[in-house]
Amino acid sequence: MRITGENLIGGASRRGEGETFRAVEAATGQPLEPAFAAATPADVDRACALAAAAFDTYRETSLEDRARFLEAVAEAILALGDELIVRCMAESGLPRARLEGERGRTVGQLKMFAAVVRDGGFLEARVDPAQPERKPLPRPDLRLRQIAVGPVAVFGASNFPLAFSVAGGDTASALAAGCPVVAKAHPAHPGTSELVGRAVQAAVKQCGLPEGVFSLLLDAGISVGQALVADPRIAAVGFTGSRRGGVALMQAAAARPVPIPVYAEMSSINPVVLLPAALEARGRDIGRAFAGSLTLGSGQFCTNPGLILAVEGAGLDGFVEAASAALTEIQAATMLTPGIHKAYCAGVAALEANPAVTTLARGLAGGTHQGQAALFSTTADAFLADHSLAEEVFGAASLIVRCPDLATIRAVLERLEGQLTAALHLDEADHEAARALLPVLERRVGRILVNGFGTGVEVGHAMVHGGPYPATSDGRTTSVGSLAIHRFLRPVSYQDLPQALLPDALKDANPLKLWRREDGKTVAPGA
């Protein structure tokens, strides 16, 4: 499929008349063909108008039709074949195996949401039948279901150009909920975005859906994104990226005459706590495993282990030695964009220059656009005194905080901002210490894991990829897993509506065969 550099507005392709820009080959910094042209305010307006026009039809598509559409998107992405992978490798600098895996995750995610839609449980149908004889007052007939919130603006992430981008988790969950999507392509991978966008556009057509169900807009800067979030027809926003970008979108959404929710996944340093018995027994092994997780994808994961907490002693020394030895052998790897590489180098330089920080190890030096891994240490006192030490350095850099005792580890955790994940490395003898930390971790993070690292998020029903601010803008939700659909739904109650006017999900005959909550009890279809 030829990449044209056009915006996809409903069923049409339209060359923008805004600023022209090119994708950059991540490995070399060289511009790639073709030239892309940013959308104009008129393009944003048209995409939003089409999305609004499609909304009532799309949100009432049958569960089966909507599920088939999601599967058609998955098939269309696979049908792009190797061309998608090759373009994505060039634009992101990520290796083939990683991107093939990410494509599998993207397609799997769409299929999971197809199954969620078919199941219908997300509608959360509830029926409280009327009680006309109730004293002192009769009870009305009340029924509830979840409906789609409206058109959703999706901002793709630079670091997951497939699974968190144009047809990634935000788009899949919004479409599953019944929301049209207007996606804003990340300027770091516009070609990849166009290819995937065309696959979604083709699936919309193939399934006979209104064209406004999906549009894709291009921009090298921020004006299109700002206009999109300000558009009165947009009802919610999904975003993965920097704290600065996420907060700017939250502010833009809050400043609207009608504010809307922004689901932004932003920054996280993902504390890893090494408990004493585990450190003593296998500190070196954990150190080697840590070096692998830290440098995966050149460290460009928001789940990257950026902070290690442990009590001083021989166990920690063994961990440091093994992790440092492993890191010094690790090749530098191409980073996603020159800007992200520059930000990483600045973050590492600031740590190197901090008098309270010791540089323990650096990975092998690389080329101009390659990130060189870095491991640092500091004391708990220094960490607690200097807020900058808790800031995310996006890339393969991590800071070990040497603590005098477990109480200090707890104090450091109490001081951290909200995080996506926390990991505990423990043996059975550490259970009591872990039990004391769990309430703190539950307050601070979205996912607590044991004897592992947070990189590589499983897409499933029990996954939370979220966390209190600033890990995300709203810690009550997740951007990965089936629960993500709830970000784009809202409940509506129907009081005393005649059967003929009720949605199928709530009719007495239960034609959709849903599990429902009837008078407070969960009832199987047909029971």
Ligand X SMILES: NC(=O)C1=CN([C@@H]2O[C@H](COP(=O)(O)OP(=O)(O)OC[C@H]3O[C@@H](n4cnc5c(N)ncnc54)[C@H](O)[C@@H]3O)[C@@H](O)[C@H]2O)C=CC1
Ligand Y SMILES: O=C(O)CCC(=O)C(=O)O
Q: Which does 457 bind (CB under 5 to 8 A by kind): ligand Y, ligand X, none?
A: ligand Y
Q: Which does 245 bind (CB under 5 to 8 A by kind): ligand X, ligand Y, none?
A: ligand X
User: Residue 409 in contact with residue 311, Cβ under 8 Å?
Assistant: yes
* CA distance to 56, 166, 183, 291, 364, per residue, from 156 (Å): 25, 6, 7, 28, 31
Least CB distance to ligand Y at residue 33 (A)? 28
Tell me the backbone φ, ψ of residue 337, rounded to 5 degrees.
Answer: -145, 160
User: Residue 236 in contact with residue 487, Cβ under 8 Å?
Assistant: yes
User: Residue 139 in contact with residue 226, Cβ under 8 Å?
Assistant: no
User: Residue 30 in contact with residue 344, Cβ under 8 Å?
Assistant: no
Sign of CA dihedral 473, 478, 484, 486: negative
Sole window of 29-37, 263-271, 487-495, 516-524 interacting with ligand X (rule: CB under 6 A):
263-271
Question: Would you say 159 or 298 has its CB closer to ligand X?
Answer: 159
Q: Which does 523 bind (CB under 5 to 8 A by kind): ligand X, ligand Y, none?
A: none
Least CB distance to ligand X at residue 155 (A)? 5
Least CB distance to ligand X at residue 241 (A)? 3
Q: Does 158 bind ligand X (CB under 6 A)?
A: yes
Cα–Cα distance for residue pair 108/436, rounded to 1 Å = 37
Binding mask 233-272 for ligand Y (x = CB under 6 A): -------x--------------------------------
Question: Would you say 29 or 456 has its CB closer to ligand Y?
Answer: 456
Tell me the backbone φ, ψ of residue 384, rounded to 5 degrees.
Answer: -70, -25
Binding mask 285-304 for ligand Y (x = CB under 6 A): ----------------xxx-
Please give the distance of CA 376 from its chain centroid, rounded to a whole number.
28
* CA distance to 283, 295, 421, 422, 462, per residue, from 435 (Å): 21, 30, 17, 14, 21
Helices (H), 214-274: 223-230, 243-254
Which residues are annotated as catalytic? 265, 302
Q: Which does 449 bind (CB under 5 to 8 A by kind): ligand X, ligand Y, none?
A: none
User: Residue 196 in contact with residue 167, Cβ under 8 Å?
Assistant: yes
Binding mask 264-283 for ligand X (x = CB under 6 A): -xxx----------------
Sole window of 2-10, 261-269, 317-325, 429-437 interacting with ligand X (rule: CB under 6 A):
261-269
Tell me which of 204, 250, 302, 307 binds ligand X, using CB under 6 A.
302
User: Residue 488 contacts by C-beta under 8 Å, 6 or more apart in sequence?
Assistant: 148, 149, 152, 173, 174, 177, 178, 179, 236
Question: Would you say 197 or 283 has its CB closer to ligand X?
Answer: 197
Q: Does 304 bind ligand X (CB under 6 A)?
A: no
Name the site residues for ligand X (rule: CB under 6 A): 155, 157-159, 184, 186-187, 222, 225-226, 240-242, 245, 248-249, 265-267, 302, 340, 343, 394
